[in-house]
Amino acid sequence: MRAVIDSKIQRRLIEKAKKDNKFTWGELASLLNIKEHTLRVEWKYNKSSLPYKAFKKLLQLTKTKENNIEVKLKDDDWGRRLGAINSNKRRKYKKFKPVRNGKLAELIGIILGDGNIFSNEVNGIYYLRIFFDSKKEVHYLNYVISLIKDIFKVKPKLRKVKKKNCVYLILQYKGIVEYLGSEGLVPGNKIKNNLTIPYWILKKDSYLKNCIKGLIDTDGSLYRLKPHWPNLIQLSFKNNNKKLLKDVRNAFIKLNFHPSKIFGNRIVITRQKEIKKYLKEIGTNNKIIAPSSSGQENLSFNV
């Protein structure tokens, strides 16, 4: 909880607490459990509201009654939300309408696989995030950064997930979120919203191959069927979005592949001629595809 009070009153309250109790700035800061710089600069000059516990302590130190001060209580995230809203207002609202081509089709496949789109109009927060393995997918991460810069003419920021081998790219543009929504990639839960391949991609085989590449590079795997059939290679696509899974299967059929029926949340391609066809006609931009949970050996696409 934060206490928001008049800036002049906040300054006088801090100065009085120091003077009345003959504290140094360091001693008062220690008592309030903050750094001296925060007290002398941010709190004293009202660049930051006060935590309610600190406000109560200052009242106690100055023998001031709370009802003598006009105070508004805000939740702890109030400052961050206000900052996000003001930042969004300051940022020039830029609209995006990239050219529909193979690169965009591939990026849409990547977003359908490992992307997350968020929108909160009330707080003015909009973003697209795409996740990567920070140890295994460095090459692919750089490839996707280049792809995004080519398509949207902006550079995404990079963030690290604490205590995990995971990083993500983030694009904080309302215009990009709105554009993706116009392509059917609406913000929120991808499974509940039944996100799937846009119609314009389904109409053209070359676009469809690029989109499939993005999907397999993020949610697919290619491996040898060890230990029983070490010379056989299998391609797998796994996703909990049943509509997307069905549409990917139909897309493979349209491209003259023979995927398995859907079992659970997965489809596979096992015909060896079609594995070679996939590598030749579609290929990959991700050198390392996540191994399957069954312990089967992962196989690099450049084999």
Q: Measuring CA to CA, how many Å separate 266 from each of 216, 256, 259?
A: 12, 19, 10
Third-level CATH fold of 2-76: 434 Repressor (Amino-terminal Domain) (1.10.260)
DSSP 175: H
Third-level CATH fold of 102-200: Endonuclease I-creI (3.10.28)
Q: Which of the residues in the chain have pLDDT under 50?
A: 290-303
228 CB neighbour count, 10 Å cutoff: 6
pLDDT of residue 85: 53
pLDDT of residue 302: 35
CA distance 29 to 38: 8
> Does this chain's domain 102-200 share its CATH topology with 205-298?
yes
CATH homologous superfamily of domain 205-298? Homing endonucleases (3.10.28.10)
User: In 3-state terms, what secondary structure has residue 297?
Assistant: strand
Q: Which of these, 212, 217, 193, lies nearest to 201 by C-alpha position?
A: 212
Q: Domain ranges in the chain?
A: 2-76, 102-200, 205-298
Structure-block tokens of residue 21: 């109790």
Q: Which of these, 203, 185, 198, lies nearest to 128 by C-alpha position?
A: 185
pLDDT of residue 153: 95
Q: Give the chain's count of helices (H) and strands (E).
A: 12, 11
Contact predicate 192/242, CB 8 Å: no
Phi, psi of 164 (to 5 degrees): -135, 150
Q: Measuring CA to CA, how many Å separate 143 from each of 137, 150, 186, 214?
A: 10, 11, 24, 12
User: In 3-state terms, what secondary structure has residue 114?
Assistant: helix
Phi, psi of 216 (to 5 degrees): -70, -35
pLDDT of residue 275: 93
